[in-house]
Each structure stands twice: as C-alpha cells, then as structure tokens.
C-alpha cells in the first residue's frame, strides 16, 4: 500500500479500493469476508496515520478518556455486523447487559440530531470505567476522531463553547478508508450506506439472520441510515473517483 500523500490522496484511495474489491470475494465465501474486510480496513487506517508529518502535534487521546464518546457514531454494515458478532460471542451476562444498554441508548437518542445528541451528553453504551469495551472492533468513525487538546474535549462535553482541535489527518484517512470500502461494497451489490450505530446494532442483535440477509444484498439497516449526504450524491462521487483511478 502506498504512503498517503495528503496533497494527492488518489493513489492511496485507488490501492484501498482494489484491496477491498479483492477481499469481497465470491458469493460462496461472503460470510467470512466481513472479518477480512475489516482487518484490512483497520490496518489500512493505522498505516495511513502512522506516516504523519513530523510537525504534527502529539494527540491528547489516551485510555481512560472517553470525553468524545457522546457523539453520534456512523458505521458501515460490515462494522456493525462485526461488533454484533463480538457481542454475541461474549459471556452471556455481558451479552445481555450490552444488549440492554444498546436498546436503552437507541430509545434515548433515536430522535436526536447530531447536535442534540452531543448536547444530551448521553454516553455510548460501550463505555465502562471510561474505557471502550469493544476497542479492538470499534468503528472507523471512532478511530478517525482524534483530539490535540483534552481540556477542550472536557469543556465541549460540559457544554462550554469551545473549538476542539481535531486531527485533520485522522479524519482524512478515516474518510478515504471508509469511502473506498463503501465504493467496493456498492460494486459488489451490497448495502453500502452508513448507519447510526446503536439503532443498527439493536436490529442486528435482535435478528440472527441479519448477516446472511445483508450478504444477499438486502439493506437490513435501512431504517438506521444516516442520510446527511444522499446515497445518489455519494454514488456520483464514487463513480467520478473510479473514473479517475481507472
């Protein structure tokens, strides 16, 4: 994989797009492809941010700080299905507790827009003692949200007006990885939108057939779709990008 050149991200996107296409596999092995796709996505993200410019300030994010874990989390279907798998394979008491918290978070936040959600201060159901209990499978959205100033994050969480300095590099790499995955999913005939995490997980945990049905091309999380940008607009962008890298 090429190193990300922020002044020309197309080669990086092209490499990712072909990598995802290769991993989506044939219809016969679709179930196993979810883990493969996301291992590639998460490794690509880490590789994309590890060659940060030397003048990039140190990140303030660290274990035990969950200040930003009140924001709305958008995730693709493979990310949601992988987290659902992790929850279902956890000890029964933990599975029950997480399912209960996810259902509660869904009820409390489903009607809130992104701003209201942040202002509500409603914590992500995966926070326990300020740590993320699904850290190894957390979505790209969480990986791409990196702050340079812990004090600013705490102030923002407390509702005090302030600009939180966020790493543009992490946001860019997250977008490139996620968009390349979405473009490849779309080409493979699978639902490729982004969904509100709690709402979509509530659906996935209630129905064991979700993964199989999604692999058949059905948008099982349609009711949780985040449509800040329409699918039509995104499809046009992906087609334009593919024309550039053909």
Answer yes or no whether residue 226 interacts with ligand SF4 by CB under 6 A.
no
Burial 44-60 (b: 16+ CB within 10 A, else e): bbebbbeebeeeeeebb
Q: Quick one: 23 or 117, whose CB is closer to ligand SF4?
A: 117
Size of the site for ligand SF4 (CB under 6 A): 10
Answer yes or no whether residue 69 interacts with ligand SF4 by CB under 6 A.
yes
Taking contact as CB under 6 A, which single stretch among the options 3-11, 66-74, 97-105, 178-186 is the one that binds ligand SF4? 66-74
Q: Quick one: 8 or 136, whose CB is closer to ligand SF4?
A: 136
Closest CA to 76 of 189, 201, 168: 201
Answer yes or no whether residue 134 interacts with ligand SF4 by CB under 6 A.
yes
Write down the least CB distance from residue 166 to ligand SF4, Å: 14
Is residue 140 within 8 A of residue 16, CB to CB? The reply is no
Q: Quick one: 133 or 220, whose CB is closer to ligand SF4?
A: 133
Which phi and psi (to 5°) does residue 19 adopt?
-65, -45
Write down the least CB distance from residue 233 to ligand SF4, Å: 26
97 contact partners, CB below 8 Å, separation of at least 6? none
Q: Quick one: 196 or 211, whose CB is closer to ligand SF4?
A: 196
Write down the least CB distance from residue 145 to ligand SF4, Å: 8
Answer yes or no whether residue 49 interacts with ligand SF4 by CB under 6 A.
no
Answer yes or no whether residue 132 interacts with ligand SF4 by CB under 6 A.
yes
| Number of neighbouring beta carbons within 10 Å of residue 228 | 9
Answer yes or no whether residue 137 interacts with ligand SF4 by CB under 6 A.
no
Answer yes or no whether residue 126 interacts with ligand SF4 by CB under 6 A.
yes
The site for ligand SF4 (CB under 6 A) is made up of 66, 69, 73, 124, 126-127, 132, 134, 138, 142
């Amino acid at each position: 994989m090429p190193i990300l050149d922020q002044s020309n991200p197309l080669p990086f996107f092209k490499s990712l797009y072909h990598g995802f296409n290769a991993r989506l596999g044939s219809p016969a092995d679709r179930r196993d492809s979810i883990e493969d796709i996301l291992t590639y996505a998460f490794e690509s993200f880490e590789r994309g941010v590890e060659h940060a410019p030397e003048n990039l300030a140190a990140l303030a994010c660290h274990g035990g700080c969950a200040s930003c874990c009140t924001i709305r989390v958008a995730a693709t279907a493979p990310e949601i299905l992988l987290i659902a798998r992790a929850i279902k394979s956890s000890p029964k008491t933990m599975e029950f507790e997480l399912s209960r918290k996810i259902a509660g978070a869904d009820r409390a936040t489903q009607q809130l827009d992104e701003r209201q959600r942040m202002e509500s201060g409603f914590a992500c159901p995966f926070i326990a003692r300020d740590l993320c209990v699904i850290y190894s499978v957390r979505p790209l959205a969480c990986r791409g949200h990196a702050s340079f100033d812990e004090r600013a994050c705490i102030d923002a969480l407390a509702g005090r007006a302030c600009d939180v300095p966020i790493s543009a590099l992490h946001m860019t790499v997250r977008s490139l990885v996620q968009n390349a995955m979405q473009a490849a999913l779309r080409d493979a005939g699978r639902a490729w939108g982004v969904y509100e995490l709690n709402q979509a997980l509530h659906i996935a945990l209630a129905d064991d057939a979700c993964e199989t049905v999604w692999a058949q091309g059905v948008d099982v999380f349609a009711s949780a779709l985040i449509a800040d940008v329409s699918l039509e607009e995104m499809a046009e962008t992906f087609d334009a990008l593919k024309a550039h890298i053909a």
